[in-house]
Amino acid sequence: MKYQKLGSSDIEVSKIAFGAWGLGGGSVWADMSPDVRSASHLLDIAEETGINYIDTAPVYGTGASEEILGKALQGRRDRFILQTKCSLNWRQGDGNFHYERDGYTVNNCTSAAAVRKDVEESLLRMNTDYIDVIIVHYVCPSWPVSETMASLNELIKEGKIRAVGLSNSQPADLDEYAKYGNIALVQEQYSLIAPLHGQAYFDTCRKHGTTFQVYGALEEGFLTGPEQLARSFKKGDIRARLPWYEKDHKEKLKTFYETLSDLPAKYNCSWAVLFEAWTMTQYDDMNLLIGFRREETIRDTVKCLDIQLTPEDIDRITAAAEPASVETIDK
């Protein structure tokens, strides 16, 4: 495993982070049932492979992911860097309407009081005294950034959190938040077939010395191999909402795989590892967040850090992906 500091903080993390969205289950991950025993086993494998960095959020399963992780981390909390989020809540009337799902109305609120409440509730759900990194899950213009950061900086002084990050934001948001404190990382969607948001963000991250943590690098499985294109998903499942589930985009992605069919054998790796290795070449302070629901996925993913793609193959992969690429994705 390789490690890095998060931005200019003193927090050292594995370059691969354990994404716990799927552990929350619900309609978004219709084929996943929350299970503490399975989560504990996955954390065992994470430790074995050197992964010390976990990402979750209150709304992943409306509390389920955090609660499961809290139980699975008992007795080893100090061996992991734990990252969760604030701003999205399902408290009645606390913020702006964001979405309805699984019988809950989720709001977005970055007021000082809401941010503090979010953190306190996460501490209780995960049965921990502190959270290493809090990410503003969705940047919201309805409350001043100065107010949001004042609350987060107070929580740092109190020892309840150690660092702050942003997600679902724009480069201008990082510029604004950085006026009021250190932003250790931004966590943003970026992939080979939806690269534009990340590409637009890299220069601003570099300016502020901020780590770019990529989510969606494998586009919820669509970049794990051509066999994924034959799968079907229930209505509401995140994978059924992505562009590549539609016929025209699916055909373009099929051609993409055919064009690169020799590369997995050349590098003796899976399709997923090939594209993860490509992703890590795109920014000099990249952290790779991958959703882990199976042991074999963890063991396979860590191999990407040992793959050295040639410049020619990096360019070849990039060019092959262009016809199948989209500008924006709503997850």
Domain boundaries, the chain: 3-321
Confidence of residue 75 (pLDDT cuts 50, 70, 90): very high
Is a pLDDT exceeding 90 seen at residue 3? yes
Is a pLDDT exceeding 70 seen at residue 246? yes
Please give the model's pTM, rounded to 2 decimal places: 0.94
Is a pLDDT exceeding 90 seen at residue 330? no
The pLDDT > 90 percentage for the chain reads: 84
Exposure b/e, 235-251, CB count within 10 A at least 16 = b: eebbbeebbbbeeebbe
Confidence of residue 331 (pLDDT cuts 50, 70, 90): low
Select the more confidently predicted residue: 155 or 329.
Answer: 155
Confidence of residue 59 (pLDDT cuts 50, 70, 90): very high
Is a pLDDT exceeding 90 seen at residue 32? no
Select the more confidently predicted residue: 279 or 233.
Answer: 279
Confidence of residue 248 (pLDDT cuts 50, 70, 90): confident
Active-site residues: which are they?
Answer: 60
Q: What is the mean pLDDT of the segment spanning 14-36? A: 82
DSSP state of 178: G
Which pLDDT value is given to residue 29? 64
Is a pLDDT exceeding 80 seen at residue 28? no
Which pLDDT value is given to residue 220? 86
> In sequence order, what are the residues at sequence separation of 6 or more whose Cβ sits closer than 8 angstroms to the Cβ of residue 227?
none
Q: What is the mean pLDDT of the segment spanning 19-28? A: 83
Encode pLDDT of 127-162 as tens digits: 999 999 999 999 999 999 999 999 999 999 999 999
Which pLDDT value is given to residue 45? 98
Q: What is the mean pLDDT of the segment spanning 186-202? A: 95
Helix H or strand E encompassing 300: helix 295-301
Helix H or strand E encompassing 297: helix 295-301
Is a pLDDT exceeding 80 seen at residue 34? no
The pLDDT > 70 percentage for the chain reads: 97
Helix H or strand E encompassing 193: none
Classify 189 as helix, strand or coil.
strand
Encode pLDDT of 82-121 as tens digits: 999 999 999 999 999 999 988 999 999 999 999 999 999 9
Tell the CATH topology of 3-321.
TIM Barrel (3.20.20)
Give the Cα separation of 180 and 243 in Å (integer): 37
Which pLDDT value is given to residue 24? 82
Give the Cα separation of 72 and 16 in Å (integer): 19
Is a pLDDT exceeding 70 seen at residue 31? no
